[in-house]
């Protein structure tokens, strides 16, 4: 019998000897299932760091006006722990076992196209996975002794945060915070010193250097004290090591910097802030009686955070709310 499943652009239907690597569900008494239940939802299974379920419509998805095919879908089983602005992009392969030939009928997107799962669309699949005439054709082996086997593979390719979930607040008249920090008993056996928090901020100093300045320079960084995953802070700042003897300062170059700080990029600084030799010179005044003073002037110019009220399902998902204060 010829395959009566309609050809779909971008969909590839193949035969594979390899079984699905993530999940298999065996359904017994298929005839009872199709006559009494519109859909079957499997137990949750793990793939790519997420929990999923397989959804089978044995006589077609009536909501899609399908009555002559089996409809097969995969859905995210638990989205309660997902950040509201995140998406999951995955490559999906769906399987049906041929019990006579010991191989699998496989339906997937051409060129491993990824499918986008998000809060508004947690389910994706094929309305016309296989024609019922093909499924019940005894020569095919998909339905044997009233038993069939479905399977699925899920390859998560990436997860992204939607820009539309941010609320950006630009501060019209920013207030400058001044952070002053004194390090006592500084020695060069310790890799890093970190100040207490002031508002959002901490200062870190590496006496032996970090990255490109390791072994030759003192490295100084300004860092977020509490880097929350949903928050970004845009700040203008200046950091200096104080000359305690002559009341002069060594400042960052350029004198003032601006940068975004977030959970991924929580610190900004200078691996070669000052050479170790210059820092240790007695006449320099930067290290006096094993004491060093570091200061920072910081202006928060803008904050991007998750809004209290997410945009409605009827709104465009790519808009960003701008609030001037």
166-199: per-residue pLDDT in tens? 566 777 788 888 889 999 999 998 999 999 887 7
For 210-235, b/e burial (b = at least 16 CB within 10 A) is: beebeeebbbbbbbbeebeebbbbbb
With beta carbons less than 8 A apart as the criterion, state whether 73 and 124 touch.
yes
In the chain, what are the domains? 11-161 (2.60.210.10), 167-305 (2.60.210.10)
pLDDT confidence band for 72 (50 / 70 / 90): very high
- Does residue 301 register a pLDDT over 60? yes
CA 310 to chain centre: 18
> Can you give the pLDDT at residue 164?
45
Task: Out of 2-6, 94-98, 253-257, pick the least confident.
Answer: 2-6
d(CA 267, CA 151): 46
Assigned token pair, 80: 């309660």
What are the distances in angstroms from CA 199 to CA 120, 209, 299, 310?
A: 37, 26, 11, 27
Assigned token pair, 280: 């240790």
Q: Write out the DSSP string of 114-142.
A: -EEEBTTB-EEEEEEEEEHHHHT-TTT-S
Instruction: Give the closest residue to 48 by CA, choosing from 125, 118, 124, 153.
Output: 153
The residue to which tokens 């339906």 are assigned: 107
> Can you give the pLDDT at residue 252?
64
DSSP 19: P
pLDDT confidence band for 106 (50 / 70 / 90): very high
Can you tell me the mean pLDDT for 237-248? 87
> Can you give the pLDDT at residue 303?
81
- Does residue 56 register a pLDDT over 90? yes
Name the phi and psi angles at 246, rounded to 5. -115, 5
Assigned token pair, 41: 């939802």
pLDDT confidence band for 289 (50 / 70 / 90): very high
pTM of the predicted model over 0.85: no
Q: Are strands 321-324 and 167-170 parallel, antiparallel or unpaired?
A: parallel
């Amino acid at each position: 019998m010829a395959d009566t499943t309609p050809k779909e652009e971008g969909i590839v239907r193949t035969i594979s000897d390899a079984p699905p690597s993530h999940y298999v569900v065996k359904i017994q008494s298929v005839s009872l299932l199709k006559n009494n239940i519109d859909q079957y939802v499997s137990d949750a299974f793990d793939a790519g760091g997420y929990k999923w379920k397989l959804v089978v419509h044995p006589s077609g998805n009536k909501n899609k006006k399908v009555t002559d095919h089996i409809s097969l879908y995969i859905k995210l089983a638990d989205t309660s722990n997902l950040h509201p602005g995140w998406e999951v992009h995955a490559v999906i392969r769906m399987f049906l076992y041929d019990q006579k030939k010991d191989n699998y009928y496989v339906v997937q997107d051409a060129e491993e196209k990824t499918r986008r799962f998000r809060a508004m669309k947690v389910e994706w699949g094929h309305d016309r996975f296989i024609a019922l005439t093909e499924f019940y054709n005894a020569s095919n082996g998909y339905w044997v002794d009233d038993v069939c086997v479905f399977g699925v593979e899920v390859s998560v390719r990436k997860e992204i945060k939607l820009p539309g979930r941010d609320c950006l607040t630009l501060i019209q008249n920013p207030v400058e915070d001044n952070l002053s920090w004194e390090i006592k008993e500084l020695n060069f056996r310790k890799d890093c010193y970190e100040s207490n928090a002031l508002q959002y901020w901490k200062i870190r100093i590496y006496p032996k250097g970090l990255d490109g300045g390791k072994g030759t320079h003192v490295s100084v960084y300004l860092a977020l004290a509490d880097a929350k995953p949903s928050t970004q802070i845009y700040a203008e700042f200046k950091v200096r090591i104080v000359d305690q003897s002559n009341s002069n300062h060594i400042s960052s170059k350029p004198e003032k910097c601006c940068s975004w700080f977030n959970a991924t990029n929580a610190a900004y600084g200078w691996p070669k802030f000052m050479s170790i030799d210059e820092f240790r010179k007695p006449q320099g005044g930067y290290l006096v009686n094993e004491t060093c003073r570091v200061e920072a002037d910081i202006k928060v110019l803008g904050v991007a955070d998750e809004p209290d009220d997410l945009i409605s399902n009827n709104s465009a998902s790519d808009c960003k709310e701008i609030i001037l204060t």
